[in-house]
Amino acid sequence: MKCEAWFQCIKGCAGRYPLNQIIYRCPDCNSLLEVTHDMDQLKQRSAQEWKDLFKERYRKNEWPYGSSVWAKKELVCPSVDNENIVSTYEGGTNLFWAERLGHQLNLNDLWIKQCGMAHTGSFKDLGMTVLVSMVKQMRSEGKNIRAVACASTGDTSAALAAYCAVADIPAIVFLPRNKVSLTQLIQPITHGVLTLSLDTDFDGCMKAVQALCAENEIYLANSMNSLRIEGQKTISFELIQQFDGEVPDVVIIPGGNLGNVSAIGKGFKMMQDLGIIDRLPRLVCAQAERANPLYLSYKNGFEEFHPVQAKTTLASAIQIGDPVSVNKAIRTLKEFDGIVEQATENELANAVGRANRTGLLCCPHTGVALAVMEKLAARGVIKPKDRTIVISTANGLKFTDFLLRYHAGDLADVNSEFPFQPLELPADHDLIRKTIHEKLSEQIPS
Ligand SMILES: *Cc1c(COP(=O)(O)O)cnc(C)c1O
Ligand SMILES: [Zn+2]
């Protein structure tokens, strides 16, 4: 089957540009581009045929379709050759039924989409596989791309580094100094990627990398490059697959640069267009109060948008004051009866504490989404019977320093509701037995 896709301006300017052209913005109006698919071609397959095809490929071994991104290749990036695909077997991440947490919050149908169960520990792999594959394709066609570069709050750089290392393509990452976790810093280093730690914040790194990539020999890997959005939109495809075609009621997404909320919306719209689903869920974008420009804009009905100076937050991957994909995100939220809500440091940290007590292992950004969910449930916006999905964006193991300090009650502006410390004892059997009995009788059953 022949499928065509191209870059086109999100404001609807007429120009179309091939996906293997190095272009990030509309030459006519400077807006971001998006990948547009020839839907008439795609509609030649029925909804049932698409569903059967995805089911047949799901987590199998035929290259590259076992990856849950490339299983949807026709709907994602049809023009890349299979031998140029750079994949680490993306997606197929667990949908965790949060029964015990949901019970505590009076939500009876609560699920956590564990996007952090990925090769580099965050959902960024989903988009990076598409982008780096296209780079490999362009290099094989003889285009002069010397390196791929990105600015990052930690997870984009980890993903770019790993995929470029797999494909033997040089990469450069720009990180804000002291604003990413130790694990995130070590990821590009261990892959041997040029790592620049700059004395600025993410927004400053973003400006620096855009200036570098204005020379076309260095290809930009940030999500303003809409190839990434195509991969990330498979989160929605996968959710529908995992629920056997049923559409959830509410999907909550932590938002920083606002690419992911746009991507998830795009996935649902595309499935609706193809007849795979018959309605859309409500989307909620969750922001940290300390980096909340979209929340402020939502409060004035999206009339205006003003970038802010992002303040230091535990949710470091969304510490962004001037989000690149803001226009895409606002358009998406308007189409999905969207909500934007925010969470304080205290709220996000305790939401993680509560969730982890029920067997999850959440990162601070997932904490922002969980805290926002708690607020919307308390306000009656999310009803007890609503099927609610929280997008968990990164693996909690990337943020052990945060967890250590949370349980030690050692985080600024956080009053830890679930403190916990290891007991340090001599190896004395009687004392051990006595202490354990005391501790067990102190515990209140929940
Ligand atoms: C990138 C990232 C986000 C934010 O996604 P955007 O597309 O920038 O809004 C949230 N959480 C984690 C862990 C991330 O790495
Ligand atoms: Zn335009």
Cβ of residue 317 lying under 6 Å from some atom of ligand 1 = yes
Distance 262 CA to ligand 1 centre (A): 12
Cβ of residue 264 lying under 6 Å from some atom of ligand 1 = no
- Establish how many alpha carbons lie within 13 A of residue 194's alpha carbon, considering only the half-sphere containing its beta carbon: 10
Residue 384, exposed/middle/buried by CB under 10 A (0-12, 13-18, 19+)? middle
**Cβ neighbours of residue 257 closer than 8 Å, sequence gap 6 or more:** 222, 223, 320, 323, 324, 325
- Report the pLDDT value the prediction gives residue 224, as an integer from 0 to 100: 87
Cα–Cα distances in Å, from 403 out to 112, 356, 423? 19, 10, 17
- Report the pLDDT value the prediction gives residue 443, as an integer from 0 to 100: 74
Distance 13 CA to ligand 2 centre (A): 4
Closest CA to 197 of 181, 183, 178, 210: 178
The DSSP annotation for 55-92 comes to: HHHTT--STTTTSTTGGGHHHH-TTS-GGG---S----
Q: How far is CA 438 from the centre of its chain?
A: 43
- Report the pLDDT value the prediction gives residue 214, as an integer from 0 to 100: 87
Question: What is d(CA 189, CA 173) in angstroms, rounded to the nearest whole number?
Answer: 10
Distance 14 CA to ligand 2 centre (A): 8
Cβ of residue 187 lying under 6 Å from some atom of ligand 1 = no
Please name which ligand lies nearest the alpha carbon of 17: 2
Distance 123 CA to ligand 1 centre (A): 8
Give the β-pairing of 218-220 and 250-254: unpaired
- Report the pLDDT value the prediction gives residue 445, as an integer from 0 to 100: 58
Please name which ligand lies nearest the alpha carbon of 30: 2
pTM: 0.97
Question: What is d(CA 52, CA 55) in angstroms, rounded to the nearest whole number?
Answer: 5
- Report the pLDDT value the prediction gives residue 314, as an integer from 0 to 100: 98
- In this structure, the dihedral spanned by the alpha carbons of residues 188, 193, 199 and 205, taken in order and rounded to 10 degrees, is -90
Distance 31 CA to ligand 1 centre (A): 21
Distance 316 CA to ligand 1 centre (A): 9
Residues in the chain: 446
With pLDDT > 90 as the criterion, what percentage of the chain qualifies?
Answer: 97
Residue to mutate, 93, 114, 155, 361, ligand 1, most ligand atoms under 8 Å from C-beta: 155
Cβ of residue 68 lying under 6 Å from some atom of ligand 1 = no
> Tens of pLDDT along 386-414?
999 999 999 999 999 999 999 999 999 99
- Report the pLDDT value the prediction gives residue 223, as an integer from 0 to 100: 83
Alpha helices (H) in 336-363, listed in sequence order: 345-357
- Report the pLDDT value the prediction gives residue 233, as an integer from 0 to 100: 98
Cβ of residue 76 lying under 6 Å from some atom of ligand 1 = no
In words, the CATH class of domain 95-120+232-407 is alpha beta
Q: Which long-range contacts (CB under 8 A, 24 or more apart) does 7-11 make?
A: 7/33, 7/34, 7/35, 7/36, 7/226, 8/33, 8/34, 8/35, 8/36, 9/33, 9/34, 10/34, 10/327, 10/328, 10/331
Contact 310, 362 (CB under 8 A): no
Nearest residue by C-alpha to atom 15 in ligand 1: 155
User: Strand (E) positions, 210-321?
Assistant: 218-220, 250-254, 282-288
Contact 189, 89 (CB under 8 A): no
Cα–Cα distances in Å, from 184 out to 151, 156, 316? 13, 9, 11
Residue to mutate, 222, 252, 257, 314, ligand 1, most ligand atoms under 8 Å from C-beta: 257
- Report the pLDDT value the prediction gives residue 446, as an integer from 0 to 100: 53
Q: Where are the domains of the chain?
A: 95-120+232-407
Residue to mutate, 260, 332, 362, 399, ligand 1, most ligand atoms under 8 Å from C-beta: 260
Cβ of residue 365 lying under 6 Å from some atom of ligand 1 = yes
Q: What angle do CA 248, 240, 96 make, to 5 degrees?
A: 75
Distance 230 CA to ligand 2 centre (A): 19
The one-letter code for the residue type at 135 is V
Question: To which H or E segment does residue 6 belong?
Answer: strand 5-9
Contact 104, 380 (CB under 8 A): no
Residue to mutate, 119, 123, 326, 372, ligand 1, most ligand atoms under 8 Å from C-beta: 123
Distance 329 CA to ligand 2 centre (A): 17
Cβ of residue 238 lying under 6 Å from some atom of ligand 1 = no
Contact 364, 399 (CB under 8 A): yes
Distance 393 CA to ligand 1 centre (A): 7
Cβ of residue 259 lying under 6 Å from some atom of ligand 1 = yes
Low-confidence ranges of the chain (pLDDT < 70): 444-446
* Beta-carbon count within 10 A of 312 CB: 14
Cα–Cα distances in Å, from 226 out to 33, 122, 200? 7, 18, 25
The one-letter code for the residue type at 176 is P
* Beta-carbon count within 10 A of 163 CB: 29
* 3-state SS, residue 145: coil
Nearest residue by C-alpha to atom 1 in ligand 1: 317
Q: What angle do CA 169, 173, 175 make, to 5 degrees?
A: 165
Distance 73 CA to ligand 1 centre (A): 23
Residue with tokens 């790993």: 162
